[in-house]
């Protein structure tokens, strides 16, 4: 971020305040208002942060009008096609694509940290059987701070590195065990001779009585889902991780906060909500009824998997996801999957409707991901845990960047107070 020669002038009650304008590598200029309160005795007001940059970052860039998503400068479609998840993890964490040797070292490092402390198994067993796997993930990831004391000191770069690798490595085991617990099956331990995605599929679908042979095409599709979800700059859950971490909280607690935020249906929970919506619609002839509801001002119903705060053209992740859905369903011999048919027709009808066109609402990453995950055998409750597994590397990369940033200070928004003015306490008998 560099100072430009440009400034913005704000006039408040006749007093002029000159504000510096900062220039990013890509994206719109940013007015630096850090000294505004000191100089003008005013705050700015921006609920939902629609116009506010909360940090500088070198990790991910989104151009919502062009439908562009770059990780460290590399377009997501190229990464989804040519790279794989662990390489993208390396890129997000360290800023450059690794050499062959560095990649092998990194993959070995992650692979060798996939096991969980054995005592954590009892922690899983303490949950009710019908607990949502996201509830288990929030609890178990937060509880890692009670099991891995040697990587909670955030002032030590080595401990930060160890915590990062642990989280990326153990998240598939945690997500798979949350699933196994919810269906009453024994936990399956990770295997170090398998790649990241295959290992996750095996931990979810193998049982002691019968091993699970991982189909390489499904493993590739799983890996691509991880890649497409790896990072998305300052979204709600990432900003939650940054805010939690700004107080100096340990990394496991911060990532648990990110998982909690991701759970909501406006964010990561949309993939579950979207598949449930496709199920509810059921057949293509019912689509107009649901579109009408989504357009009705008096109904707060929304098409799940549609719309995005930043993308106002298309979500590049959705394009790759749609192709992947076709490939996976063809492989599994279920091209005529009714939900895929409903999804494609819903997309077609919505995109032709002026309501969605005018508001620039397009399918997002969550629109097709659920169809693939369901075809692979996952129940809807596992969709958001899979998203959180994949997003962990993004949260960690942003967390590491923030801690290393000398400008890092506790996040503390201001408010526009519209409550009562100061008034005297009234005794209960006089109210
Ligand atoms: N269906 C119908 N109308 C919609 C939808 C939708 N899915 N999304 C937005 N709108 C309308 C909304 O009613 C509003 O209309 P008006 O201006 O007349 O009041 C307008 O479009 C702008 O909506 P907004 O809520 O102000 O936009 P936002 O940027 O605050 O919200 C969003 C973005 C993603 C939360 C929203 O589009 C939404 O709720 N979508 C459905 C949930 C979803 O798919 N979420 C996943 C997002 S991508 C993955 C992720 O981030 O985890």
Q: φ, ψ for residue 415 (rounded to 5)?
A: -145, 165
**d(C-alpha 415, C-alpha 47), whole Å:** 9
The residue from 153, 308, 315, 424 that is catalytic is: 308
Q: Which residues does residue 22 pair with via DSSP β-bridges, in sequence order?
A: 3, 30
- Classify 337 as helix, strand or coil: coil
Across 57-71, 358-372, 388-402, least confident range = 358-372
Residue minimizing CA distance to atom 14 of ligand 1:
359
Going by CA atoms, what residue is nearest to atom 31 of ligand 1? 309
Task: Find the mean pLDDT for residues 247-252.
Answer: 96
In this predicted structure, the answer to whether residue 333 has a pLDDT above a threshold of 90 is no
Q: What is the mean pLDDT of the chain?
A: 94
308: annotated active-site residue: yes
Residue 303 Cβ contacting ligand 1 at under 6 Å: yes
| DSSP structure class, residue 312 | S
For residue 153, the Cα-to-chain-centroid distance in whole angstroms is: 25
Per-residue confidence at 366, pLDDT binned at 50, 70, 90? confident
Ligand 1: distance of its center to the CA of 254 in Å? 26
The pLDDT, as a whole number, for residue 119 is 93
> DSSP states of 106-160 as a string?
HHHHHHTT-PPPTTHHHHHHTS-TT--HHHHHHHHHHHHHHH-GGG--TT-HHHH
Q: Looking at ligand 1, which residue's alpha carbon is closest to its atom 25?
A: 309
Q: How far does residue 194's CA lie from ligand 1's centre (Å)?
A: 39
Helix and strand numbers (H, E) in the chain are 18, 6
**Which residue's C-alpha comes closest to atom 21 of ligand 1?**
359
Q: What is the predicted pLDDT for the residue at 272?
A: 87
> Does residue 267 have its Cβ closer than 6 Å to ligand 1?
yes
136-145 pLDDT, tens digit each: 999 999 999 9
Query: Quick one: average pLDDT of 10-25?
Result: 95
| Residue-by-residue DSSP string for 229-275 | TS--SS-HHHHHHHHHHHTT--HHHHHHHHHHHHTSTTTTTHHHHHH
Q: Which residues of 206-215 are buried (b: 16+ CB within 10 A; e: fewer)?
A: beeeeeeebb
Q: Is the CB of 365 under 6 A from ligand 1?
A: yes
pLDDT tens-digit readout, 89-120: 999 999 999 999 999 999 999 999 999 999 99
Is the distance from the beta carbon of residue 235 to the nearest atom of ligand 1 less than 6 Å? yes
Give the model's pLDDT for residue 411: 95
Distances (CA, A) of 229 to 146, 240, 265, 317, 381: 28, 17, 16, 8, 17
- Which tokens go with 342? 């409903």
Q: Is pLDDT at 31 greater than 80 in this prediction? A: yes
Torsion (CA) 259, 265, 269, 274 in degrees, nearest 10: -170
Count CB atoms within 10 A of the CB of residue 12. 12
- Determine if ligand 1 sits within 6 Å of the CB of residue 98: no
Best residue among 274, 275, 303, 307 to mutate for probing ligand 1's pocket (most ligand atoms within 8 Å of CB) is 307
pLDDT on residue 222: 96
pLDDT digits (tens, 9 = 90+) for 306-325: 999 899 888 999 999 988 88
Distance 355 CA to ligand 1 centre (A): 12
Q: 364 CB under 6 A from ligand 1? A: yes
Cβ atoms of 252 and 399 closer than 8 Å: no
Helix (H, G, I), strand (E, B) or coil at 404: helix
CA proximity to 111, closest of 27, 200, 40, 215: 200
Tokens representing 49 are 């942060």
pLDDT at residue 2, rounded to an integer: 60
Q: How far is the CA of 318 from the centre of ligand 1 (A)?
A: 16
> Is 366 in the active site?
yes
Q: How many CB atoms lie within 10 A of CB 296?
A: 10
Asked whether the beta carbons of 209 and 363 are under 8 A apart, the reply is no
Which distant-in-sequence residues (6+ apart) come within 8 Å of 212 by Cβ?
Answer: 201, 202, 205, 206
Q: What is the Å distance from ligand 1's center to 316 Cα?
A: 17
Q: What is the mean pLDDT of residues 347-355?
A: 94
Does the pLDDT of residue 244 top 90, yes or no?
Answer: yes
pLDDT tens-digit map of 206-236 = 999 988 999 998 999 999 999 999 999 999 9
Q: Who's near 58: CB < 8 A, 6+ residues apart?
A: 72, 95, 401
CB of 62 closer than 6 A to ligand 1?
A: no
Taking CA atoms only, the protein residue closest to ligand 1 atom 3 is 302
Q: Indicate the burial class of 127 (C-beta count within 10 angstroms; 0-12, 13-18, 19 or more).
A: middle
Q: pLDDT grade, residue 335 (50/70/90)? A: confident
Q: Which residue CA neighbors atom 39 of ligand 1 most closely?
A: 266
Tokens at 390, concatenated: 């994949």
Confidence label for 3 from pLDDT (cuts 50, 70 and 90): low
- Residue 110 CB–ligand 1 contact under 6 Å: no
Q: Which residues of 385-395 are buried (b: 16+ CB within 10 A; e: fewer)?
A: bbbbbbbbbbb
**How high is the pLDDT of residue 211?**
81
Predicted confidence at residue 313, as pLDDT, reads: 85
Residue 178 Cβ < 6 Å to ligand 1: no
In angstroms, the CA 384 to CA 66 distance is 27
Res. 1 pLDDT band, cuts 50 70 90? low
- List Cα–Cα distances, 29 to 53, 68, 234, 315, in angstroms: 10, 18, 17, 23
Tokens at 90, concatenated: 């390396």
């Amino acid at each position: 971020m560099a100072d430009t020669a440009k400034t913005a002038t704000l006039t408040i009650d006749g007093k002029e305040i000159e504000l510096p304008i900062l220039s990013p590598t890509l994206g719109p200029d940013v007015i630096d208002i850090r000294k505004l309160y000191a100089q003008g005795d005013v705050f700015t007001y921006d609920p939902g942060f629609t116009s506010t940059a909360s940090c500088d970052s070198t990790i991910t860039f989104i151009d919502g009008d062009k439908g562009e998503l770059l990780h460290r400068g590399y377009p997501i479609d190229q990464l989804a096609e040519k790279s794989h998840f662990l390489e993208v993890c390396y890129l997000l964490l360290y800023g450059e694509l690794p050499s062959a040797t560095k990649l092998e070292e990194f993959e070995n490092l992650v692979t060798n940290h996939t096991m969980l402390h054995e005592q954590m198994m009892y922690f899983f067993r303490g949950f009710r059987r019908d607990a949502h796997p996201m509830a288990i993930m929030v609890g178990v990831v937060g509880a890692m701070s009670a099991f891995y004391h040697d990587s909670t000191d955030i002032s030590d770069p080595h401990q930060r590195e160890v915590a990062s690798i642990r989280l990326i490595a153990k998240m598939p085991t945690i997500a798979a065990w949350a699933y196994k617990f919810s269906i009453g099956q024994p936990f399956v331990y990770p295997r170090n001779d398998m790649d990241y995605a295959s290992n996750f599929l095996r931990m979810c679908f193998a049982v002691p009585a019968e091993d699970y042979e991982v189909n390489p095409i499904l493993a590739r599709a799983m890996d691509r889902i991880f890649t497409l979800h790896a990072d998305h700059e300052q979204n709600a859950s990432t900003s939650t991780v940054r805010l939690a971490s700004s107080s100096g909280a340990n990394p496991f607690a911060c990532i648990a906060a990110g998982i909690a935020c991701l759970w909501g249906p406006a964010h990561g929970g949309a993939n579950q909500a979207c598949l449930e919506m496709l199920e509810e619609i059921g057949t293509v002839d019912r689509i107009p009824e649901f579109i009408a509801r989504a357009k009705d001002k008096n109904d707060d119903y929304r098409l799940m998997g549609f719309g995005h705060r930043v993308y106002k053209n298309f979500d590049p992740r959705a394009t790759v996801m749609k192709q992947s859905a076709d490939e996976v369903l063809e492989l599994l011999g279920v091209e005529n999957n009714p939900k895929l048919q409903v999804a494609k027709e819903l997309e077609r009808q919505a995109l032709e409707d002026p309501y969605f066109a005018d508001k620039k609402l397009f399918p997002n990453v969550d629109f097709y991901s659920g169809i693939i995950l369901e075809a692979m055998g996952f129940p809807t409750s596992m969709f958001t845990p899979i998203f959180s597994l994949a997003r962990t590397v993004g949260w960690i990369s942003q967390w590491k960047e923030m801690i290393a940033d000398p400008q890092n200070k506790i996040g503390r928004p201001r408010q526009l107070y519209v409550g009562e003015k100061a008034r005297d306490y009234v005794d209960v008998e006089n109210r």
